[in-house]
Structure 1
Amino acid sequence: MRISEVSRLSGVPASTLRYYERIGLIASDRELNGYRDYDAEVIDRLALVDGAKQLDLSLPEIAELLRAVDGDTCTQVRESLRPRLAKRLSEVDDRLAILQRLRDRLLAASRRVDACPDSGDQCRTECMLMRERPCEPRPSRSGIGR
């Protein structure tokens, strides 16, 4: 298959196919005219690359996985993949915990912003973003309340 057909069938742009070939993720033969000639198995290989990318594996990790797929048994590949997936899962759990804390802080800040009273005075945004309770109206400069 020519690169345009592989691109059409896989949904992978030709520029990406050339890059994948340069870094060794896929391979092609060259015809006498210099055109790349891919075998039909490249579609399955690209599907594996896409699946690994969706798991947020890096291209070097994917290359290592492909080397294992090419030379090891299914059991060996599984045993090689298992710790990588566990590590990625742990990293995702850590990121989710950080994002949950951020979400909680954003919700609290949003509640404080909503609770701030209308005022014609200069805004004191620190009361919205730093305090745990809604801001209190600031006494006027004359000493008389609003």
Structure 2
Amino acid sequence: MLISDVVARASIPATTLRYYEDLGLITARRSPNGYRTYDESVLDRLAMIEAAKQLNLSLPETAELLLVVDSDSCTQVHEVMHPTLQQRLRDVDERLASLQRLRDRLAAATRRVAACPDSGDSCRSECALLTDQRLNCTTTSPAHEGTRTR
């Protein structure tokens, strides 16, 4: 297949194919006129690269996987990939927990801002930004010092 055939069948840009070739992820033969030619197996290889991308594997990790797939048994592929995927899963769980904490802080700040009264007086920024349980909007004018505006 010519590069245009692979591009059409795999729905990826020619520049990506060339890049993957430069990285050694795929190989192409050269015809006498210098055109890249690929055999049908390149489509399976591209599908595997795409699957690795969807798992957020880096290109070096993908290259390692492809080397193992090319030369080793399923057992060895398992031994290489299982720890990598387990670590990736732990990383995602940590990011999810961090995002949940952020979401909780945002929700609390949203509730505090919503609870602040409409007032022409100055409102302390702590109403929205700090996480103490008993933060309230208070006026800072001397006539209302120490009183709540709620």
Alignment TM-score, normalising by the size of structure 2: 0.89
The AA in structure 2 aligned to 1:121 is D
Cα offset for 1:134? 4.8
Cα offset for 1:135? 2.1
Q: Which residue of 2 aligns with 1:52?
A: 52
Question: For residues 144 and 103 of structure 2, what CA distance do their matches in structure 1 show?
Answer: 39
Question: For residues 33 and 16 of structure 2, what CA distance do their matches in structure 1 show?
Answer: 21
Cα root mean square deviation, aligned: 1.7
Question: For residues 41 and 61 of structure 2, what CA distance do their matches in structure 1 show?
Answer: 20
Give the number of equivalent residue pairs.
146
Q: Which stretch of the first structure deviates more once superposed, 77-86 or 59-68?
A: 77-86
Q: Does 1:125 align with 2:125?
A: yes
The AA in structure 2 aligned to 1:135 is N
The AA in structure 2 aligned to 1:142 is A
Aligned ranges 1:92-131 → 2 under 5 Å: 92-130=92-130, 131=132
Aligned ranges 1:54-93 → 2 under 5 Å: 54-93=54-93
The AA in structure 2 aligned to 1:138 is T
- The gaps in structure 2 that reach 5 residues or longer are none
Higher relative contact order (CA 8 A, sep 6+): 1
Alignment TM-score, normalising by the size of structure 1: 0.92
Cα offset for 1:118? 0.6
Cα offset for 1:71? 0.1
Q: Which residue of 2 aligns with 1:26?
A: 26
Q: Which stretch of the first structure deviates more once superposed, 127-136 or 10-19?
A: 127-136
Q: Which residue of 1 aligns with 2:142?
A: 141
The AA in structure 2 aligned to 1:61 is E
Provide the secondary structure at the position in 2 that maps to 1:142.
helix
> Contact 1:112–1:133 (CA<8 Å) still a contact in 2?
no
Cα offset for 1:138? 1.0
Check 1:118–1:134 CA distance in 2 against 1; reply closer, same or farther (3 A cut).
Answer: farther
- The gaps in structure 1 that reach 5 residues or longer are none
> Contact 1:65–1:77 (CA<8 Å) still a contact in 2?
yes
TM-superposition CA deviations, 1:91-144 (whole Å, max 9, x none): 111111111111111111111111111111234323211143452331533347
